[in-house]
A = this chain, B = another copy of it.
Amino acid sequence: MKKVPLESRRQFLQYTALSGAFAGFSLPALSAQSDIDYRDILPESMTQAGAGFSNYGQPSPYENKIIRWISANPDTPGNGVSWSPLHELQGTITPNGLHFERHHNGVPDIDPATHTLLIDGLVDTPLSFTVEALKRYPQQSRICFIECGGNSNSSWRSRPVETAAGYTHGLVSNAEWTGVPVKYLLQEAGIKNNAKWAVAEAADGASLNVSIPLEKLLDDAILALYQNGERLRPENGYPLRLVLPGWEGIVNVKWLRQLRLTEVPVMSRDETAQYTDLMPDGTARQFSFEMATKSLITSPSHGMTLPDNPGVYQLTGLAWSGQGKISRVEVSADGGQSWVDAELQQPVLSKAFTRFSLPWQWQGQYAVLQSRATDETGYVQPSRDELFAKRGSHGFFHFNAIISWEVSEDGFIYHVYPD
């Protein structure tokens, strides 16, 4: 495999300075004209009034292909996912309309005026909260990612799925969540000494319920009312959802109606039949809440083609860790033989998307692009071989290995397993 040079920022700037026609193109001077009809030379948009104001804005019609991709079984239409188009997005915030979805029995219609949250079980005083009452508690905001435990599940298969980056790795999104720290509500109810877990139940048609260690609820858990500034979207738990920063999606329970404190986990369907990992020795790896450190090159990626004018391209992607901050992202263009540090967009926030980027010079060579994230604990994202060595080959959930894009000499890009 040929080595492909990665460019440092300094090299990139030298490169552009040396090449005036690299992306822009120069124009001949316009000669003076006195009889110009400006309708002929101005764009049409400048010759007429534009559209009026709107109460709630929508994306440009020119971007109507930038959508969540829906994967749901027609026989059980409310059970499935829709993928966030990460390959079409930039920055770190996922706009609310494109936040990934994972539902077990569809999106319930819940009137916030009648919805309540019950806190009961091993508490001194069971309490019930209306949504209006919750708004009187102190609220906190946190920008953090939520990733489905089943994200990237096709990467456990023996052949790579040839789909756009977001449509196979996009069950992860990043938003500013605002709401009431759960500890305030639990403290008000009074926690009995033997309480160690809480069973969180959703008000959806799946009666989804899962067990959550009390320790996490007393740490950084938020009972979210707002998502990127506005009230939660229906598909993200309106009117109330749990947000457990850094923990797998299933325990960020949407449409939350109850937290019942218990001594032991309830071993519900949703934490036994799903979201556990079958290990090589036949045991189940369970309660692997914390999403491991991971990264993904979003551009260039599968399905894109590099035009026939070789030159500098911006490699860019996202890294995230349930353990804290991303401390480093390295990029390889030769399938992992050599690595170069990418630039991390500041500020780097804990348990949140971190955007990385690096200029790359492509002159028509074969290449295999990879990214490898390291978090502040020193944990390094494993190769696919390393992950399989540890977890066996029967995985479905919790895939966090390095993801690879092959660039062919004619500029097409494929999803590959080079190791």
Q: List residues of chain A with CB under 8 Å of any chain B CB.
A: 9, 12-13, 16-17, 20, 22-27, 29, 43, 45-60, 62-63, 66-70, 72, 77-78, 80-82, 88-99, 101, 103, 105-112, 114-115, 118-120, 124-129, 133-141, 175-178, 184-185, 187-190, 203-205, 207, 225-226, 228-236, 238-239, 255, 257, 311-314, 316, 345, 347, 349, 355, 357, 359
Question: Do A78 and B106 form a contact, CB below 8 Å, given A16-B184, A126-B26?
Answer: no
Q: How many chain copies?
A: 2
Going nearest first, the 3 A-B pairs with the smallest beta carbon separation are: A50-B106, A24-B127, A45-B108
Excluding A45-B108, A54-B101, 15 further A-B contacts by CB distance (< 8 Å) are: A13-B184, A17-B187, A22-B188, A24-B189, A43-B110, A49-B105, A51-B109, A53-B68, A53-B81, A54-B68, A58-B97, A58-B233, A60-B234, A95-B230, A139-B357
**Which residues of B lie under 8 Å from residue A26 when comparing CB positions?**
125-127
CB < 8 Å: which of B55, B184, B203 contacts A45?
B203
**Which residues of B lie under 8 Å from residue A134 when comparing CB positions?**
23
**Which residues of B lie under 8 Å from residue A347 when comparing CB positions?**
347, 349
CB < 8 Å: which of B82, B108, B128, B176 contacts A50?
B108
Q: How far is the CA of A92 from the CA of B23 in the complex (A)?
A: 36
**Which residues of B lie under 8 Å from residue A178 when comparing CB positions?**
90-91
- CB of B12 within 8 A of CB of A106, answer no
**Which residues of B lie under 8 Å from residue A118 when comparing CB positions?**
27
Q: How far is the CA of A41 from the CA of B75 in the complex (A)?
A: 28
Question: Do A57 and B93 form a contact, CB below 8 Å, given A110-B43, A126-B27, A136-B314?
Answer: no
For residue A214, give the distance in angstroms from its CB to the closest CB of chain B: 18
Residue of B nearest to A9 (CB): B138
Question: Do A82 and B95 form a contact, CB below 8 Å, given A24-B127, A62-B111, A90-B141?
Answer: no
Q: How far is the CA of A238 from the CA of B62 in the complex (A)?
A: 10
Q: How far is the CA of A54 from the CA of B30 in the complex (A)?
A: 49
- CB of B45 within 8 A of CB of A109, answer yes
Residue of B nearest to A20 (CB): B125
- CB of A228 within 8 A of CB of B91, answer yes
**Which residues of B lie under 8 Å from residue A68 when comparing CB positions?**
53-57
CB < 8 Å: which of B20, B82, B207 contacts A53?
B82
- CB of B57 within 8 A of CB of A98, answer yes
